[in-house]
Amino acid sequence: MTSLTQFPSSPVHEEEPGAVLNWAYSSGYRDSEAPMQAITKGLPRQPKQDGHFAAMPYAKVPAFIPALRERESFSRLALEFAILTASRSGEVRGATWDEIDLADGLWTIPKGRMKANREHVVPLCPRAIRIVERCAELRLPGCPIIFPGVRGKQPMSDMTMSKLLKEMGQPYTAHGFRSSFRDWVSEETNHPSDVAEAALAHIVANKTEAAYRRGNLLEKRRVMMAEWADYCEGKSS
């Protein structure tokens, strides 16, 4: 009997149930095809993924912010900055000092760091500016990263914010605060949908509309983000 170690290499992939056995059958190493029904029943059921991130209800955000500020760390500053700017955690973790313009209150993220591969300008509310200024006070010599990780001059891990939320007893994700912001805009304000979508750096699905929308709605977004910051601070609009 020929051992498996003597078989020529199989062109099939491991993730195809029974494919190896069927290849062995077609190559003369088995007398029958793979019993597919038995194989598939023996495999563990895979959980369905809906693609959604657990989001904190926006009504809970004003109470969460003071708890976030009880202690100071780069991870806490980064998470609050992400909430106030409605940015993706990766964009915040990778933020560098040369992207910040404190005089104009702007954060310009280069297209190479954006999901849509398009430069994104973020207006910074006063509290977001204060966070950046605090990070400057804590800045490690020669570190280009605003929110460095434990390795000093490298960005913090993508699990850092998730770990922080877990330690605080929150069953939500950092990315989910973008949904919190979007729900707040829709349910509590009169800001147009396209302004909110621009703040989230979402791509305009309608190609015709995208072709005619050449502005970045910056000033309208500045007003909206200032109101969001006030809401997060517990201030009535």
Q: Give the single-character DSSP code of 60.
A: G
Could you tell me the maximum CA-CA distance found in the chain, to the nearest angstrom? 81
The larger pLDDT score, comparing residue 28 to residue 182, is at: 182
163-200 tens-digit pLDDT = 999 999 999 999 999 999 999 999 999 999 999 999 99
Q: Give the single-character DSSP code of 148.
A: B
Q: Give the single-character DSSP code of 142.
A: T
The larger pLDDT score, comparing residue 80 to residue 17, is at: 80
Q: What is the value of pTM for the model shown?
A: 0.75
What are the beta bridge partners of residue 109?
120
Tokens of 93: 């973790």
What mean pLDDT is reported for the chain? 82
111-131 tens-digit pLDDT = 999 998 999 999 999 999 999
* Residue at token pair 């929308």: 213
The residues annotated with a catalytic role in the active site are 88, 115, 175, 178, 202, 212
Helix (H) and strand (E) counts in the chain: 11, 3
pLDDT at 151: 79
Q: What is the DSSP string of 204-221?
A: PS-HHHHHH--S--HHHH
Q: What domains sit in the chain, N to C, each tagged with a CATH number?
A: 58-232 (1.10.443.10)
The larger pLDDT score, comparing residue 192 to residue 22, is at: 192
Query: Do you know the residue count of the chain?
Result: 237
Tokens of 41: 């029943």
Q: What's the rounded Cα separation, in Å, for the pair 134 and 145? A: 13
Residue 171: half-sphere exposure toward Cβ, Cα within 13 Å? 0
